[in-house]
Amino acid sequence: MIKKSSQLNDKVVLPKTEGIIEKETKRDEAETNILEAKRRVNLTIETLKATNPLLGRCDRASLVVAILNAQELGLSVDPILGEVYIIPYRNKTDLTYRAQLQIGYRGFIKLAYNTGIFKVIRVSDVRAGEEEKVSDLLNKESGMIDFSLETLKKGIAEYEERRKKPVIGYLAMFELKDGTRELKFMSLEECKD
């Protein structure tokens, strides 16, 4: 049967191809991102195991959860930075190990800065004989801890002598962007409670 000329001139309808290439490109990018994330998690696990062999005994799922929780908070699991620590805990009932994320004080400081309301955060140990100096650490004019060059030079000269004295507590200070300031001293006994 011969088709009429009007039938020959009809356009052939092809499936829509619009967006297919873009979708494939996005899918490829997503797969690449997933593979890169998986590679980073595996590398982090191996690094942590090298740092603390007991982490090698932890179930992999607990390690991955701890790492992902740290990443979600924007904190590094590198123990040198002290933002978070991944600690192996032994389950007493089945004698297995599970990894648990613990935020270090530097991690808490970073999280506080990330809120955008803190201008300054400082922490320091307080040694024996410095109890009276705690209240003098505040500069009366600005309400800030004195970090002047003279104070720092004096501190460097006294550093070795100071280091020999026992820690009796800790001092923390912060200033918010609105000007609110707070200074807090806690003795070792208070910290342990």
Please check whether residue 15 lies inside any domain of the structure.
Answer: no
pLDDT band for position 191 (50/70/90)?
confident
Please check whether residue 144 lies inside any domain of the structure.
Answer: yes
SS3 155: helix
* Domain end call among 104, 124, 152: 104
Cβ 136 vs Cβ 185: under 8 Å: no
Whole-angstrom Cα distance, residue 85 to residue 100?
A: 8
How many percent of the chain have pLDDT more than 90? 28
SS3 content of the chain, % helix, strand, coil (to 5): 45, 25, 30
Cβ 119 vs Cβ 154: under 8 Å: no
Cβ 97 vs Cβ 54: under 8 Å: yes
Residue 86 sits in the same domain as residue 149:
no
Whole-angstrom Cα distance, residue 146 to residue 142?
A: 9
Tally of domains in the chain: 2
Please check whether residue 122 lies inside any domain of the structure.
Answer: yes
Please check whether residue 9 lies inside any domain of the structure.
Answer: no
Residue 151 sits in the same domain as residue 124:
yes
Please check whether residue 95 lies inside any domain of the structure.
Answer: yes
Which residues make beta-bridge pairs with 187? 169
**What are the two backbone dihedrals, phi and then psi, of residue 103, each rounded to the nearest 5 degrees?**
-85, 130
* Domain end call among 51, 74, 104: 104
Tell me the pLDDT tens digit for each residue of 26-74.
Answer: 777 777 767 777 788 778 888 888 888 899 898 989 999 999 999 999 9
- The chain-wide mean pLDDT, for the chain, equals 79
Please give the residue range of the domain that contains residue 157: 116-192
Cα dihedral 8, 13, 18, 20, rounded to 10, equals -120
Q: What's this model's pTM, rounded to 2 decimal places?
A: 0.66
Residue 94: CB atoms within 10 Å: 6
The closest of 127, 130, 117 to 182, measured between CA atoms, is: 117
Tell me the pLDDT tens digit for each residue of 126-143.
Answer: 888 877 777 666 554 444
Please check whether residue 187 lies inside any domain of the structure.
Answer: yes
What are the angstrom distances between the C-alpha of 96 and each of 18, 21, 72, 186? 53, 48, 26, 37
